[in-house]
Chain A
Amino acid sequence: MASFLPDLEPGPEMSPEFERKKRRKTEGNPSSFHPTQGNRRIKQWRTQREQRIYSSNLIESLRRSPTATGNYVRDMAYRFLAVSAKGTTRWSRAILLGRLAAGAKMRKHKRAKVGANRKLRKPVSNIQKRKLPAVERKLKTLGRLVPGCRKLPLANLLEEASDYIAALEMQVRSMTAISEFLASGGAQPPAGRLVNS
């Protein structure tokens, strides 16, 4: 079983009013990333409220499609996750626009990029030469993992990645709680997980 960041304490700091104000602020500029805004978004992923809303949506859609395959569940899970982000982040918008489309684009881009990289790395100064390529390489692979973020500049990519990670963690917590509930036959509520995580 995975451990879900036992150090973090979600919930008490977020009153509904504060969350509403926060949402209005973050919906303004999707492409500008201020550290404080990013932190606020990340904290929101860790609130009970966010997890409840997400879980509730997911359960409803699962109830309506009892013959759902694993892939269908996964797609639904990601779609609802992206919806929860309310269009404030690039990765969520990318998911909503369609994961299949992103997959097809990725194959085209991979071929085009390899040549371009090698040419453009040459002008970099000698001191930076050793350092940049390794970090850049890793940034690029990271960019491939976060939906819609392959061509993002450094600062935005790391912001997106942070938010994406927080969202994924919530998703895992939620889906684990739901599956535990279902596994127990639905009769007994699982102790703690749904409410306290």
Chain B
Amino acid sequence: MSSRGLRSRQSSGVSRIRDDQITDLVSKLQLLIPQLRRGRSHKVSASKVLQETRNYIRSLHREVEDLSHRLSELLASTDIDNDQAAIIRSLLM
């Protein structure tokens, strides 16, 4: 485990390589985050991208939580019978 950790590789030579990697990968990550894609695409710092990524993942987690609870409530009130399951499946496939 320690061989893979960031900390075990801290020397100035490796840090320079990591900087390039950071900017490259961070710019790719930037493309995935909705807030960062619109407009000011080239002025965003790595730190900001990471922060927004974090916030975005957290908001997605929250959405999944809310949707899960909503689905459980809907399930309680409307049982999915065989017909409906078939409908859904035919819509999906």
**A and B are partners in one complex rather than unrelated chains:** yes
The smallest beta-carbon distance between A164 and chain B, in angstroms, is 7
Check A179 against B74 for contact (C-beta < 8 Å): yes
Interface residue stretch chosen among A9-17, A21-29, A93-101, A166-174: A166-174
Instruction: Report the bound CA distance from A195 to B85 in whole Å.
Output: 16
Q: Does A114 contact B (CB under 8 A)?
A: no
B82 vs chain A, min Cβ distance (A)? 8
B39-74 vs A, CB cutoff 8 Å, 1 = contact: the mask equals 000000011001101101110110111011111111
- Contact A194/B91 with A123-B10, A135-B46, A186-B80 known, Cβ cut-off 8 Å: yes
Distance A185 CA – B10 CA, assembled complex (angstroms): 58
Using CB atoms, name the residue of chain B closest to A163.
B32
Establish whether residues B29 and A162, one from each chain, have CB atoms under 8 Å apart when the complex forms: yes
Binary contact readout A144-162 vs B (1 if CB under 8 angstroms, 0 otherwise):
0110000111110011011
Complex CA gap A158/B49 in Å reads 11
Residue A106 is within 8 A (CB to CB) of chain B in the complex:
no
Residues on A with beta carbons closer than 8 Å to the beta carbon of B64: 74, 77-78, 168, 171-172, 175
Tally of A-B Cβ pairs under 8 angstroms: 170
Given A56-B92, A155-B25, A189-B91, residue A70 in contact with residue B68 (CB < 8 A):
yes
Q: A138-B54, A141-B54 are in contact. Are A56 and B80 (CB under 8 A)?
A: no
- Interface of A (DSSP majority class): helix
Contacts of B60 in A (CB 8 A): 165, 168-169, 171-172
Smallest distance from the beta carbon of A17 to chain B beta carbons, Å?
A: 18
For B79, give the chain A residue with the smallest CB separation.
A66
Residues A135 and B50 in contact in the complex (CB < 8 Å), given A56-B93, A151-B4, A194-B92? yes
Q: Which of A121, A136, A172, A181 contacts B88, CB < 8 Å?
A: A181
A100 to chain B, nearest CB (A): 16
Cα distance, A132 to B46, chains bound together (Å): 11
B→A interface (CB under 8 Å): 1, 4-7, 9-12, 15, 18, 21-22, 25-26, 28-29, 32-34, 37, 46-47, 50-51, 53-54, 56-58, 60-61, 63-65, 67-76, 78-80, 84-85, 87-89, 91-93
Nearest 9 interchain pairs by C-beta: A70-B69, A74-B68, A138-B50, A73-B68, A175-B67, A182-B74, A158-B25, A168-B60, A52-B92
Please, could you name 10 A-B residue pairs with CB atoms under 8 Å apart, sorted by A? Answer: A71-B68, A135-B46, A135-B47, A135-B50, A145-B57, A165-B32, A172-B64, A186-B88, A194-B88, A194-B91
19 additional A-B residue pairs with CB within 8 Å, beyond A117-B7, A128-B12, A158-B25 = A55-B92, A56-B88, A56-B93, A74-B64, A74-B65, A74-B69, A77-B68, A120-B10, A124-B15, A135-B47, A139-B6, A151-B5, A155-B21, A158-B26, A159-B25, A161-B53, A162-B29, A165-B56, A175-B71
